[in-house]
Chains A and B, each alone.
Chain A
Amino acid sequence: MKFDYMSKPTIIPIGPYHPLQAEPELFKLYCDGEIVKDVKWETGYNHRGIEKLSESKTFDQVFFLVERICGICSTSHPFAFANCMEEIVNVEIPDRAKYIRSIIGELERIHSHLLWAGLAGHFLGYNTVFMWVWKYREPVLDLFEIITGNRNSYAMFKIGGVRRDIPNNLVPTIQKNLDALKHKLDLLIGVVMDDPVIHARTKGVGVLTKQDIINFAAVGPTARASGVAIDVRQDDPYAAYPLVNWKVITAEEGDVFAKIAVRLLEMHESVSIIEQCLEGLKKEKEGDIEVKVKNVPEGMGTGRAEAPRGEVFHFVTTDGGYSPVRHKVRAPSYTNISTFKKSCVGQTISDATISLAAVDPCYCCTERMAMVYDYYNKKPILSGKDMIKLSQQKTEELKKKL
């Protein structure tokens, strides 16, 4: 959409620090009255240089590093990295490890979706939903503590398997907690899906059509809510997902309400996957959780995993040494955030903010360096163009090595 910046529209800043977001990020809404005419996204408040850090760590350490890219989907990144490394090493992990991986991945999806549902309530001014949902999320985190010893950052993954086993005598406890959770989920779905005011606030808001999703290459629940059944678990099966029965949840409307519906129903699907995985665990021998990998050969690999927000993509080049030569991470929010250009423009500020929140943006995953400048005299050291040039040089160097 063409928009005349010269006519000095009002800029409504969402960020860098704003109650709508837990992380620093700046959206400039160019508004005419209450109507948003254009959106500009500024990034770079949170850059930590993880890809570069990864090149100085051993493969085992990288798992702990990528786990800390994002606090919410702290298993998706190790999951994708493990898939990637196993492609390079070319090992097939034991079934028991596959089940455990899937259980952790799905529990994470449940806790992430619950977290989002609570936040969405808060963004709509519905703080009771916020508090209730986060209370219901606690048992999920307790489950994590039972299984891994941590509520967040589980440190479960390694090349060739997982670090800890889920003993079979723990299965009934997990099953009991899941049953309680299922009851709570039903309650929540009933409350949210039948509330007329929530319908009034979210239906027909921030609509993304099927074509928009394809144009912006959006992934995850954002895409599925617009009728694009894209899911890495289905399209490029990994871990235990081919071993269990489940279906991809989609909705057709593409508005905020559809995104809520997809996420809420996906949680039920996740519970069902976990239950089947627990059944699978009972059949496998206890303790058979890893394949010993002695060394990582020279090579190149890609790994994908379906994070709660969509596809996480890791690319690693190795040279036969102890650490990655190049490690590239692409998180789902990177593509999802760009859909704001479509979903927010032409809406009121109230609708735009909930549309921003509806894709569940995770900024620390998405963070890119935009420019380097001296903090004290504000003089730029490297501009965006310089950095693109640098990265092109590095690509050239890598190409020669291959």
Chain B
Amino acid sequence: MLKELFHFLIYPGFLFLAVAGGFLSWFDRKVTAMLQFRKGPPVLQPFFDFLKLLLVKETILPAKGSRITFLLAPVFSLFGATVAGILIFLPLLNIKTGFAGDLIVIFYLLAIPSLAFMIGAMASGNPLASVGASREMKLMMSYELTFLLVIAGIIMKANMNIGLYDILNTQKETGAFIGSISGVLLFIATVFCVQAQLGLVPFDMAEAETEINHGSFIEYSGSVYAIVKLTKYIMLFILPAFVVTVFMGGLSWEGINILWSVLKILSVVLLITLIRNTNPRVKIKQAMRYFFIWMNLLVIIAIILIIFGL
């Protein structure tokens, strides 16, 4: 019991995910700043941001709309992200979880933050937030299908194993999935799905600052917004970790391997940061078409290649 609590709250649970996510958020901001000829924030800035919001800033509630839903939505998103993170990290740390189909569970858990943000935005009663929520919904509908197809592809590559632990073992035997053509195609599609899931440019239309003023999150402030921020930090860690797990042979915390593990995560975050800094925001219609037609096509080609063993 104590061990489970430790797993959930400290390592590899909530605390570890939040701290690592904070550092990754700093990395993202620093790289962005360097690309833009700026100096960038100090290492601890994400934590300062979080603590300032949590402890100092006033929390203002919307006058209209459902307050309880509005306040609970970020909490749910935090729980969803944390549990998904734990399920991703336990196999990575060689701890065998009790059930075999955790990949499917992770897929559902990863959808919870976006869903919760959507519900929270709807509950705020702000027209801009509702536009943001409707965009989030459309975006989710488009990338979830691609993501599901990617997961199908991964399962096929892993000899029809649905457990993350077995997928890692398969990769140990046959080499990382990204080493094959189909693996590369699946990896490209996944990175774009991750981009959309994190709500980063070019898929940040749900919170488009210059269009709808931070859309979904416009009414959040103070400690509630701190939770939203924390969820985003955690998502910035667990999604690249997921990509590393299913494509790059996972992480390892022994000796020199620690360096490789960190580099793997950083390289995926770097890729995401570069994409977000070299593209303008697309319209929701274009994003939908992009996922429905091009990304799905890419994944289907990958699946056909997998069938031929490439």
Contact = CB atoms under 8 A, between A and B. Distances in A.
A115 to B, nearest CB: 15
Interface string A325-362: 00000000000000000000000111101000000000
A125 B286 CA distance: 15
Given A10-B127, A127-B277, A350-B205, A200 B36 contact: no
A19 B209 contact: yes
Interface residues on B, range: 20 to 34
A351 B283 contact: yes
Contact of A34 (B209, B280, B281, B284): B284
Nearest to A191: B278
Contacts of A349: 131, 211-212
A135 B37 contact: yes
A193 interface: no
A117 to B, nearest CB: 13
By DSSP majority rule, is chain A's interface helix, strand, loop, or mixed?
A: helix
A131 B204 contact: no
Nearest to B212: A349
A197 B208 contact: no
Contacts of A121: 280
Contact of A350 (B127, B209, B279, B283): B283
A131 B131 contact: no
A11 interface: yes
A132 B280 contact: no
Given A126-B280, A349-B131, A200 B286 contact: yes
Contacts of A11: 127
B279 A126 contact: yes
Interface string A122-142: 111111111110010000000
A200 B287 CA distance: 11
Interface string B27-45: 0000010011110000000
Interface in B163-204: 201-202, 204
A350 B284 contact: yes
A350 B36 contact: no
A201 B209 CA distance: 16
**A interface residue count range (under 10 / 10 to 19 / 20 to 34 / 35 or more):** 20 to 34
B127 A127 contact: no
Please list the 9 inter-chain residue pairs (A to B) with the smallest Cβ-Cβ separation, ordered nearest first: A125-B281, A131-B36, A124-B280, A126-B280, A123-B210, A353-B211, A350-B283, A125-B201, A128-B277
B134 interface: yes
A201 B201 CA distance: 13
B66 interface: no
A122 B210 contact: yes
A357 to B, nearest CB: 8
Given A12-B127, A12-B128, A128-B35, A348 B283 contact: yes
A12 B131 contact: yes
B213 interface: yes
B282 interface: yes
A7 to B, nearest CB: 15
A125 B128 contact: no
A285 interface: no
Interface in B103-123: none
Contacts of B277: 127-128
Contact of B36 (A31, A34, A132, A198): A132
A353 B134 CA distance: 18
29 contacts: A10-B131, A11-B127, A12-B128, A18-B213, A19-B210, A20-B211, A34-B134, A34-B135, A34-B284, A123-B210, A124-B281, A125-B210, A125-B281, A126-B281, A127-B36, A127-B201, A127-B277, A128-B35, A128-B277, A131-B38, A132-B37, A197-B202, A197-B279, A197-B280, A201-B286, A348-B283, A349-B131, A349-B212, A351-B283
Contacts of A195: 280
Interface string A193-207: 001011011000000
A257 to B, nearest CB: 12
Nearest to B209: A19
A132 to B, nearest CB: 7
B37 A131 contact: yes
B280 A125 contact: yes
Contacts of B212: 12, 349
Interface string B54-76: 00000000000000000000000
B282 A201 contact: yes
B210 to A, nearest CB: 5
Interface string A19-53: 11000000000010110000000000000000000
A185 B36 CA distance: 17
Contacts of B285: 348
A19 B208 CA distance: 10
B22 to A, nearest CB: 21
Nearest to B277: A128
Contacts of B211: 20, 349-350, 353
A94 to B, nearest CB: 42
Given A12-B127, A201-B282, A348-B283, A125 B38 contact: no
Contact of B208 (A31, A130, A350): A350
Nearest to A135: B37
Contacts of A10: 127, 130-131
Interface in B88-145: 127-128, 130-131, 134-135
Nearest to A352: B211
A180 to B, nearest CB: 16
Interface in B226-285: 277-285
A349 B284 CA distance: 10
Contacts of B283: 201, 348, 350-351
B263 to A, nearest CB: 24
A125 B278 contact: no
Contacts of A353: 210-211
A195 to B, nearest CB: 8
